[in-house]
Amino acid sequence: MSSQCVTEICKRKSRAQCHCCSKDLCFDHLKEHQNLTNIQLNTFIDELNATTDQLLKINVLNVIMNCRQKLDKWYDDCHVTIDRFYKEKCQELQLRCLERVDQKQKEINQMKLKIGELIREDDATYEDIPPLILTINDIKRDVNQFEEKGIMVGVHPLTINKNLVYIEEWVMSNVDISSLSFTLQTIDCFDGPWSAMACNNHFLLFNQYSNLCLMDRQLNVVKQSPWIYSCISDMCWSSTLNNFIITTEKDGVFLVNENLTSIKSIQTIEKKNWLSCTCSDSALFLTTNEDSSNIFQFNLLSSFRPIKQWNSPEICKSGESIHNLAYNNGTLALIIRCKPDYNLKIELRSSTTLDHLCSLPLNFINSGGRIIRVCSLKYDEWLVIAHNTSHLLQISKDGKLKFEHKYKSTPHNAVLFGSNILAIRTAACIDFYGV
């Protein structure tokens, strides 16, 4: 028996069912339903045509010149470094030459005193003459060689490490966590209570055994530096400042350069029990380890001047707390835990206004002390690291669950290292995957 058309006020019987939405429709409304779909498809064509027009109007030379500004600054900085090194070596060369002249003059003066003493004492014998001749000849030879050849200057060709400059490749494929299989490398790494990691295009920074460790793109640990402050809760990279930023439980926030040669406390930021941090191009975002969490925003371009503080219940309701946050392309991703059930959700918000964009329940709970982390992926996607269920959840840019992957062990953190290496940290190691 045929049912009635589901379209409001239509009294005709249904003649077909739409396979897309499973609605029973009469012939007229089925045709109208199809026309709406075609209209939407035509809208997509119009959007693609407009995007094509936009692409064709782009002045590629201007884009190249804008991108070259950073490369040109690196070029100028390298010249400054080479010029400084050259001047230092010139001064060193001058000093060594003057030292050589002074040394030979002292030897000549000593010989003159010795010969003068022999003359005064009238005590010279035939046996005294040969040693004097040898010494004088040595001095004359050294002076002649110094005049003709100077002193030895050894130079090595300047070897340029190609990894000094990283230029992003245009990779059409996205990260697909459902196909993590081939491990590029695994390194042993003790996992403390926080398992913090951060990276830029050149280095991965992580902490273990009271040390900061720096790894290059060849997956070699190139440097370690002692960490003498309180426990590290999180870390992130600021491309604007060309520095890592580290948050701690008790000692505040620190600025660390990418060579680990400078670790400075940021005095303009109050010492709190900071939990999570992330950076946009102009701002640093921080959260504290407490219920009804707040988000603090600081200006990167004016010595971390406070900009704004978003308080509960604007961000978190009573009993909610922010576990972790990450930034990507104008959007903040927040992992929020809700009491009393300890359910978790991911929220996407505008990084400029913190307006709510979308949210997704994560369908698992976390009642323990270790935080659930999130990191940014390519194409504005996100990766949630659910240690308590040993799952990795790939979230699309519109806040939908794209993939859920059961990891081989318990993952505690993950970062995308450059554009093609995914680093996953567990309790005992860091695994690296090509993506």
135-189 pLDDT, tens digit per residue, is 889 889 989 998 888 888 888 888 887 767 767 666 555 677 777 767 888 988 8
pLDDT value at residue 2: 62
Of 211 and 181, the structure prediction assigns the larger pLDDT to 211
Burial string for 276-290 (b: 16+ CB within 10 Å, else e) reads bbbbbebbbbbbbbe
Q: Which two tokens stand for residue 423?
A: 């680093």
Confidence check: pLDDT of 71 > 80: yes
Confidence check: pLDDT of 287 > 80: yes
Mean pLDDT over the full length of the chain: 86
- The pLDDT-based confidence of 215 (bands split at 50, 70, 90) is very high
pLDDT value at residue 170: 60
Confidence check: pLDDT of 254 > 90: yes
pLDDT value at residue 30: 76
pLDDT value at residue 369: 67
Confidence check: pLDDT of 285 > 80: yes
Q: Are 233 and 196 in contact (CB under 8 A)?
A: yes
Confidence check: pLDDT of 97 > 70: yes
Q: In what order do the strands lie in the sheet with 274-279?
A: 274-279, 283-288, 295-299, 305-310
Q: Calculate mean pLDDT across residues 349-368.
A: 85
pLDDT per position as a tens digit, 364-392: 777 666 788 999 998 899 999 988 888 89
- The pLDDT-based confidence of 41 (bands split at 50, 70, 90) is confident
Q: Which residues contact 380 (CB under 8 A, 6 or more apart)?
A: 328, 329, 331, 397
pLDDT value at residue 291: 79
Helix (H, G, I), strand (E, B) or coil at 209: coil
Using alpha carbons, list the distances in angstroms from residue 409 to 10, 177, 324, 383. Answer: 57, 15, 21, 16
Task: Write the burial class of residue 185 (CB in 10 Å: 0-12 exposed, 13-18 middle, 19+ buried).
Answer: middle
- The pLDDT-based confidence of 131 (bands split at 50, 70, 90) is confident
Peptide bond into 361 cis (omega under 30): no
Q: Calculate mean pLDDT across residues 274-296.
A: 90
Q: Which residues contact 17 (CB under 8 A, 6 or more apart)?
A: 23, 24, 25
Give the global pTM: 0.66
Query: Which helix (H) or strand (E) covers residue 402, if one does?
Result: strand 401-406
Q: Calculate mean pLDDT across residues 46-69.
A: 89
pLDDT value at residue 316: 79
pLDDT value at residue 124: 77
d(CA 216, CA 274): 28
What sections of 122-226 are H helices per DSSP? 129-149
pLDDT per position as a tens digit, 15-38: 677 766 667 778 777 777 777 777
The DSSP output letter for 364 is E
- The percentage of the chain sitting over the pLDDT mark of 90, rounded to a whole number, equals 43
Q: Calculate mean pLDDT across residues 121-143.
A: 85
pLDDT per position as a tens digit, 291-301: 778 899 999 98
pLDDT value at residue 366: 72
* DSSP class per residue in 248-314: ESSS-EEEEETTSS-EEE-TTS----EEEEEE-SSEEEEEESSSS--EEEEEGGGTTEEEEEE-TTT
- The percentage of the chain sitting over the pLDDT mark of 70, rounded to a whole number, equals 94
Nearest to 367 by CA among 413, 323, 418: 323
